[in-house]
Amino acid sequence: MNPSAAEARARPIPLWRWGLWWSLLFLAGLIFYFLLAPLWLGLRGLAWIAEFKARRRR
């Protein structure tokens, strides 16, 4: 086993790193749920409407 790795695991993680981690996680959640998910759902809705219209024309 690497002695420096064991030494690094024994030290506590600084609070600023926890704050950065949770801030980035929160930001990623906002981007996903409020930007990417509605965009994806809108594109799927448009595809569904286009398919429905194409089937009605036949």
pTM: 0.63
Half-sphere exposure of 2 (CA within 13 A, CB side): 4
Tens digit of each residue's pLDDT (9 = 90 or more) over 2-52: 788 888 888 899 999 999 999 999 999 999 999 999 999 999 999 999 999
Categorize the per-residue pLDDT at 57 as very low, low, confident or very high, splitting at 50, 70 and 90.
confident
What is d(CA 9, CA 15) in angstroms, rounded to the nearest whole number?
A: 15
What is the DSSP secondary structure assignment for residue 36, as one 8-state letter?
I
11 φψ region: left (φ > 0), alpha (ψ -120 to 50), beta (else): beta
Dist. CA 15–CA 13, nearest whole Å: 6
